A and B are shown apart, each in its own frame.
Chain A
Amino acid sequence: DTGVSQDPRHKITKRGQNVTFRCDPISEHNRLYWYRQTLGQGPEFLTYFQNEAQLEKSRLLSDRFSAERPKGSFSTLEIQRTEQGDSAMYLCASSLVGLGADTQYFGPGTRLTVL
């Protein structure tokens, strides 16, 4: 049984560059979430999908951020024109809605550093 996987685990980029992260959820999970976590803080919600539909976006998700889940399986999170303030851990989680408490299981995260 494989858990949530994320790629890459670490990304260092220069300010102004675009970056894309990938998340593969637990097989059969229909919901997929993106969170951002800065040092010393708990994760903050960015957006989530149910199957391929993006159902909710946080105000934290500026116009430079876009997320997709085209086939209802893996998801990508793209950040355009990165800024130093984008440096954070980007976490992906998945859940199976309709059974129990819709518990979210997290991946290992992608650590982004913007120089």
Chain B
Amino acid sequence: SYELTQPPSVSVSPGQTASIACSGYKLDDKFVSWYQQKPGQSPVLVIYHDNKRPSGIPERFSGSSSRNTATLTISGTQAIDEADYYCQAWDIMTFHVFGTGTRVTVL
């Protein structure tokens, strides 16, 4: 089955850049989406189709993908960005797959 791997945690200082990696076999052959989930809340889509932002998502959120790794970047990280982040891709055999999740802590 297809798997997506993320680092368990990322720490960032306010105003700095946070980068969250998502690794999977030939991931650049697939479209990747990213979801933000704050404690006690439902996930929210922040990036789709590798690098597109839904309306209402701040410009500081961006995405990229290359070979086996997709990356979510939060530029000028704010305290309100502290959350869990999940990547997601679609695989013809496994269907929808979520990454293992990364907790972003703003120190």
Same assembly: no
